[in-house]
Structure 1
Amino acid sequence: MLKRTGPLCFLVILFVLTTVLTAGAVAPEKTVTERPPMRGLWVASVLNIDYPSKPTTDPAVLKAEAITILETAEAAGLNAIFLQVRPTADAFYQSRYFPWSRYLTGSQGLAPQDGFDPLQFWVEESHRRGMELHAWLNPYRITRKTKDEPAHDIAALVPWHPARLYPHLVVHHTDGNLYFDPGMPQARQLIIDSALELVEMYDIDGIHFDDYFYPGTTFDDAGTYASYGAGYASVEDWRRENVNTLIRDLHQAIQTTDPEVRFGISPFGIWANKSSHPLGSETRGNQTYFSHYADPLAWIQEGTIDYIAPQIYWHIGFDIADYHTLLAWWNQAMAGSAVDLYIGQAAYRVGNSDPASPWHGIGEMDRQLQMNTWYPLVKGSIFYNYSALKRNPDLVTLLKHHFHDK
């Protein structure tokens, strides 16, 4: 016999019944905020291409040049800066792993005056303007000689440089430069640890790699392959997996440390030519899959990056590497992927003085940006480089008009 229930008991029973009846219902999906289109700018520091214009230890000069670059980007309607903070295993910030960059202060290991930290300043000033700041790293390159310089010697590095402390991780390449050996697990861990240093110490929005991986097919890593290449059909497959392993492990490490920081790469614009690989594009140019042992398709399919920005640096109608052909190929490559696709745009080619050049004036860039809108998976552009905007106010105006209200 059921006991008589009062009003409070009735409400409790009603709550329980409601809970049971709705237990199997699907909760409404969380609202996902759509990211704004990417409108990025590469600011290169190697060889003082963009910043600083020449090495200096003076914080006032470094600050003033940074502000000028940011104001130019803002005037062009851009919303993200990709600052090269580690061009050659050296740093534009206070690092536990790498010395201060000679491109910053003029002498490797020499700090800016008054404890000034350029990266911290860039982060603060970018965010003040509503711009993202991505830390652009070159993972393997230790030196970058000019054509007139002799081959670089490890002894020329500061004594506490990791390449001098761990010379077994270093390869002297035929181009006269030094590189960390991607096949060495200790070298990969150094790259990961030093990237996490940035994630932990600075309020950056991303870690960014460019298109330099293995410097060429003649890389002297036979000894490393003998030690670590068991189970691979070829040294080529092993090299590609070395790069894939670094990308995979670094992405996981960043996600674990700070999931708000994005990891992206801007590979060379041609993955492979169709004549060399059945999945390749209808092109006849250099191939990152075979020349750099980089496999962006694997990163996209595995989701081991958050965004990709292929450098499609050729004009529409170029018979060797047509912009439209590659744009369509990369758009198709993204099908079903959660990775964002941005296009690396050749702003540096704009304004060619030859009237017969497809890059004469700003028309080619205008056509490319319009063409990007035809492809739904293209979510923005990154422009190389600041110096191109500095010398071409018409390009700044074009970008401002194109991105207006977008």
Structure 2
Amino acid sequence: AELARDAARRAAVAGYRARESRPVEGRGLWVRPIETSPEQIRASLDRIDAAGFNMVFLETVWGGYTIYPSPVAERAGMPAQRPEMRGFDPLKVWVAEAHARGIELHAWTHTFFVGVESGGGPVLTAHPEWAAVEREDVGKAGPQPSRMEPGYYWMDAAVPAVRAHVLATFEEILRGYDVDGLHLDYIRYPVSLPYGADFSYSAYSRQTFAAEHGVDPYTLTPESPQWPTWNAWREKQVTTFVDQVRTMQERVAGDRQLSAAVFADPTDGLAKKFQNWGAWVDAGTLDFLTGMSFGTSAGSVGHDTAVMRERVGDVPLYTATYGPLRGSSPDLMLDQVQAVNDANSDGAALFAYNQLNARQQEALREGTFRTPATVPHADYRAAARSGAAALRETLRQATA
């Protein structure tokens, strides 16, 4: 039985090694840090490095907390740091140790989503007036969670104090830490279909829209002549905030990257969540995108990648796949990475480290990620040289 198991494993590894391993591509991994000591962080990064990843999206702001000690949070009346991480600065260790291994470290941040903790967690406990309000919850006391994204609490993207606080947090990260970039997640409204479950009808949004357009949006329906104006107004709140982040990033840390996790279908993202990432691409606001493909097959993620590739043009695109989260077989996970590559993505990003099992790690290490790779967006000239050198070597071997 042991010999049979060993033979099966060796056959699987041989199959992994037959797969293409590209010399120029992004190999991203989302990581929710649960490590509470430098030693644990080093152990996690050793594992990530061994699997062949060259980019980490480290969850730096989530659930209404920062993983590092934050004066901005403290000034806003919130806890300065996640309680389980007090006593040291995890972000500083993650950055230093990732760079020591040649891995990019991007600060993954929840933008307007503040968690699932009852009442909206530390942010909405301190500032209930910042809450995004669902149409069906108008008039209710206190922050309420989304119906379409059950249990999720959100801030209203239009409220000036919300925008100022989030922007200050992002600037704090870029000024205080040598991260390679800022990675925006939940850069949108909550899911706002069907009618009745749409956002946000906070007092500020209603009053401001009424002052600009002469009607309280709460009185509108999808059949109202001004409904498209209300939709465009909400989309504008997100897009102008991305513009603000870009302006701040260029002023504070012009050498860093600004990226966003977006929904694969640009039409769906705009219609349901007012996330017009196509406009961000057109304006050159982002340095690269990670498009989220939730498909369970290689064909579905390949299709999503092709749709995104056509829309983004030459902007670097790394398609997010969910093999680790879904517990996919190693072969299916590699098939999805290959499908992403075949559809002209610049690489794949896997969700997430916390669910990456030993068999999947082995498949990446022995297969698609077995040779070192240059991240395309980091240095286009170096990436081109690496790609050309690899092509020359392949041709030499083929003609020897």
TM-score relative to the length of structure 1: 0.70
Q: Which amino acid aligns with 2:243?
A: R
The question of 1:383 aligning with 2:357 is answered no
The question of 1:112 aligning with 2:86 is answered yes
In 1, the alpha carbon distance for the partners of 2:231 and 2:303 equals: 27
In 2, the alpha carbon distance for the partners of 1:225 and 1:234 equals: 13
In 2, the alpha carbon distance for the partners of 1:290 and 1:302 equals: 20
Q: CA RMSD of the aligned region, Å?
A: 2.6
Deviation at 1:211, TM superposition (A): 4.0
Where structure 2 has 5 or more consecutive residues not aligned to the other structure, the ranges are 1-22, 133-142, 214-225, 374-400
Aligned to 1:365: 333
- Alignment partner of 1:325 out of 303, 311, 329: 303
The question of 1:173 aligning with 2:139 is answered no
Aligned positions of 1:85-100 closer than 5 A: 85-98=60-73
The answer to whether the 8 A contact 1:211-1:268 is kept is no
Would you identify which runs of 4 or more consecutive aligned residues in structure 1 move more than 6 Å? 100-103
Deviation at 1:327, TM superposition (A): 1.4
Q: Which amino acid aligns with 1:44?
A: R
- Alignment partner of 1:209 out of 147, 165, 184: 184
Deviation at 1:312, TM superposition (A): 0.8
The answer to whether the 8 A contact 1:309-1:342 is kept is yes
In 1, the alpha carbon distance for the partners of 2:176 and 2:80 equals: 22
Aligned to 2:204: 224
Deviation at 1:256, TM superposition (A): 1.2
- Alignment partner of 1:62 out of 37, 41, 60: 37
In 2, the alpha carbon distance for the partners of 1:349 and 1:90 equals: 23
Deviation at 1:363, TM superposition (A): 2.0
In 1, the alpha carbon distance for the partners of 2:104 and 2:79 equals: 23
The question of 1:398 aligning with 2:373 is answered no
Change (3 A) 1:304 1:228: farther
1:261-303 superposed Cα distances (whole Å, 9 cap, x missing partner): 111111123333xxxxxxxxxxxxxx32222221111111111
- Alignment partner of 1:74 out of 22, 32, 49: 49
Aligned to 1:234: 229
The answer to whether the 8 A contact 2:52-2:364 is kept is no
In 1, the alpha carbon distance for the partners of 2:39 and 2:251 equals: 36
- Alignment partner of 2:107 out of 118, 125, 135: 135
In 2, the alpha carbon distance for the partners of 1:364 and 1:324 equals: 13
* Local SS of the residue matching 2:350: strand
Aligned positions of 1:244-323 closer than 5 A: 244-272=239-267, 287-316=268-297, 322-323=300-301
Where structure 1 has 5 or more consecutive residues not aligned to the other structure, the ranges are 1-34, 46-50, 53-60, 146-151, 273-286, 352-358
Deviation at 1:81, TM superposition (A): 1.2
In 2, the alpha carbon distance for the partners of 1:168 and 1:349 equals: 35
* Local SS of the residue matching 2:98: helix
1:222-275 superposed Cα distances (whole Å, 9 cap, x missing partner): 533333322574322211111101111101110111111111111123333xxx
In 1, the alpha carbon distance for the partners of 2:86 and 2:126 equals: 24
Bigger RCO of structures 1 and 2 (CA < 8 A, at least 6 apart): 2
In 2, the alpha carbon distance for the partners of 1:362 and 1:165 equals: 45
Deviation at 1:306, TM superposition (A): 1.0
* Local SS of the residue matching 1:214: coil
Aligned to 1:374: 342
Change (3 A) 1:313 1:371: same
* Local SS of the residue matching 1:42: strand
In 1, the alpha carbon distance for the partners of 2:154 and 2:312 equals: 31
TM-score relative to the length of structure 2: 0.71
Deviation at 1:134, TM superposition (A): 0.7
Deviation at 1:209, TM superposition (A): 1.6
The answer to whether the 8 A contact 2:109-2:182 is kept is yes
Change (3 A) 1:405 1:240: same
Deviation at 1:139, TM superposition (A): 1.1
In 1, the alpha carbon distance for the partners of 2:360 and 2:127 equals: 49
In 2, the alpha carbon distance for the partners of 1:37 and 1:400 equals: 16
Deviation at 1:398, TM superposition (A): 2.7
Aligned to 1:341: 317
In 1, the alpha carbon distance for the partners of 2:41 and 2:57 equals: 13
- Alignment partner of 2:26 out of 13, 17, 38: 38
Kindly tell me the number of residue pairs found equivalent between the two proteins: 313
In 2, the alpha carbon distance for the partners of 1:102 and 1:62 equals: 18
Change (3 A) 1:137 1:259: same
Change (3 A) 1:177 1:203: same
Change (3 A) 1:71 1:242: same
Q: Which amino acid aligns with 2:302?
A: H
Deviation at 1:313, TM superposition (A): 2.1
User: Percentage identity across aligned positions?
Assistant: 21
